[in-house]
Amino acid sequence: MLTEYTTPGASVEVRDDESIYSLLTERIKRTGEDTVIAERKTAPGQWTKVTTGEFHKNVLSAAKGLIAFGIGKGDAVTLFSTTRYEWGVLDFALAAIGAVNVPIYDTDSAAQAERILNDSNVKLAIADDRERFDRLDSVIGRCPSLKHILMLDANAMGALEGLGVTVSDEELDERIASVRADDLATIVYTSGSTGAPKGAELSHRNFVSITRAGSLALHEMILEDHPRLLLFLPLAHCFARFIQYASIASDDGVVGYLPDTKTLLPDVRSFEPTYLLGVPRVFEKVYNAASRKAGMGWKGRLFLKAAESARDWSRMQQAGEKPTMKQTAEHLSYEASVYHTVRGALGPRIRYVACGGAPLDASLAHFFNGIGLPMIQGYGMTETAAPFAATRVTDNVIGTVGQPAPGSSVRISDDGELQVKGPNVFMGYHNLPEKTAEVFTEDGWLRTGDLASIDDEGRITITGRKKDIIITAGGKNVSPIPMEQEIAKCPIVEHAVVVGDNRPFIGALVTLDPEGLAAWLPSVGLSADTPLDRVAATAAVHDEIQKYVDKANATVSRAESVRKFVVLDAQFTQENKCLTPSLKVVRPAVNRVFADVIDRQLYAGKR
């Protein structure tokens, strides 16, 4: 195994006078103003096309309006909104005039928003609807720098356009020309899964470099054959920002903005994407929905056999093995009866799915790969403008997160930590020089906090987090993530969190998946609307979960195995701080919120 690797080829070029806005203007230079760049959902199943010229006109109108509002270069502006077309327009408008985009997750509370607004001295905030507007309005008195709040649903874009008529083209051009690649473009607050959120300062160069490098590495998905992206992840997350830029920077890519996921699968089918970007939970839900639709009878048994066959097919592909005639015939049979239907749920044009943001179970990746949908896996952090590494379409080794972006480097420290270096590594934490110093090594590498290995081809395998290692009272070091992934394969399980730090044995807290339960409960003689507290105490539920705990335990030593688990009658949510806005489990919060359950039910009388 290697300890250091740099992806061959020079880093992508970013001129000093370029910005995020340049990604849009360069596309116009290459393809003109008539190409379709975006689509807006205007009604169920209906999408309105937006050309590059129309998008650019909207950007310039918003930019002029922001200038008229008194937004100067370097001033902070917050977007507090779901993913929607106006978010994209305003993002490029802010970049064009050198303002700093400080996004807030649409699920953040008023208190969380207040902290961000004050930490970054936000001057103007733009919310999407009345509910989020009111959240901001409730704290404006405690935010000295915040002067105005606009609301998209109350025609904020029209207001900006109207104000902007007082700003000349010459003044706008002067502002655009003043923006440099190394200027601060955005402050993105980390999700807080490993501590208090910190504001990561990212430059225009950070985003432009990773956009171009990512497009080179994944050109088959992002650039070729009329790519179409349906974007529903929150744009407050760097992962979504990156893929928005990559789509807009391509020659004929189209991005569709989806404000909510209440009707995700029908929206996917009507938009007809060629690739989808999601976190693991999205693809788990797609798989579980297909399983539930098949039901519990012969169709259900057929689906389970087809799913296992797909995984076997993928594993053979990965190993370079040639299938037998029988295996080929079986695969073709399942293609006609199962695989075609599952792919069809994601639209008739779908070619790739891409996953990041959290660890993905390998068996799920093998399933999608086996049904003809390569699962591209990536790795990155807010501090690297999202992606840093990704599997390639032509080198998609499941279980790894691929190689670094072109021109970027990775290494493994003496204690097993993955460290990275490249043009997309952030400038530092806002107002936190000590935290910034802590996260960089003396020779300038970024400490990721993740444990990893690198194979001879530079492919990275993430094995855990330094801070997630559990040390039992007996001194055994346990990495909880593989165990949690195995238990979470149970269709009725939403999350599993392994505990046991300084305890006599390893235990687990398990939450139940409402959708999976609704389909499963009738099979054990219970109504789908049985109260959660009764379900959590039901022996059949425990027996079902125990099967998956046993499978997890079979992969580790007895000292690492889950000896006892508790089924919670509550969920991990953003409200109780157990989930981040990007749906990562916050382990310290789980330990804190459910401390009494851990003490009384898992370890009562045990020392």
- Reported confidence tier of residue 564, pLDDT bands at 50, 70, 90: very high
Angle at 310 between CA 308 and CA 312, to 5 degrees: 70
Both tokens assigned to 216:
């080179």
User: Which pLDDT tens digit goes with each residue over 141-175?
Assistant: 999 999 999 999 999 999 999 999 999 999 999 99
pLDDT at 503: 86
Residues of the chain with CATH 3.30.300.30: 469-602
Report for 86-95, 337-346, 549-558: range of highest mean pLDDT: 86-95
Residue 219 forms beta bridges with which residues?
none
Sheet holding 446-454, edge to edge: 4-6, 409-412, 417-421, 446-454, 460-465
As a three-state string, the secondary structure of 190-221 is CCCCCCCCCEEEEEHHHHHHHHHHHHHHCHHH
CATH code for residues 280-348+351-466 = 3.40.50.12780
CB 571 within 8 A of CB 579: no
The secondary structure of 80-122, three-state, reads ECCCCHHHHHHHHHHHHCCCEECCECCCCCHHHHHHHHHHCCE
Give the phi and the psi of residue 369 in degrees, each rounded to 5.
Answer: -65, -40
| 230 has a pLDDT exceeding 70 | yes
Region(s) of the chain under CATH 3.40.50.12780: 20-179+226-274, 280-348+351-466
Q: What secondary structure, in 3-state letters, does 479-537 show?
A: CHHHHHHHHCCCCCEEEEEEECCCCCCEEEEEEECHHHHHHHHHHHCCCCCCCHHHHHC
The residue assigned the tokens 């806002």 is 430
**Those residues with Cβ within 8 angstroms of residue 433's Cβ, 6 or more apart along the chain or in another chain:** none
Summarised one tens digit per residue, pLDDT across range 586-603 is: 888 898 999 999 998 999
Return the number of other C-beta atoms located less than 10 Å from residue 465's C-beta.
19
Tell me the pLDDT band of 463, cut-offs 50, 70 and 90. Answer: confident
- What phi, psi does 38 have (nearest 5°)? -150, 160
For 9-13, 249-253, 456-460, 501-505, which range has the lowest pLDDT when averaged over its residues?
9-13
In the chain, the amino acid numbered 565 is F
- When pLDDT is averaged across residues 504-510 and rounded to a whole number, the result is 93
- Secondary structure letter of residue 2 according to DSSP: B
Burial string for 304-342 (b: 16+ CB within 10 Å, else e) reads eebbebbbbbbbbbbeeeeeeeeeeebbeebbeebbebb
Domain 20-179+226-274 top-level CATH class: alpha beta
CATH number of 469-602: 3.30.300.30
C-alpha span between 301 and 555 (Å, rounded): 26
Measured CA to CA, the distance from residue 84 to residue 230 in angstroms comes to 11
What one-character DSSP code corresponds to residue 405? P
What proportion of the chain, given as a percentage, has pLDDT over 90? 74
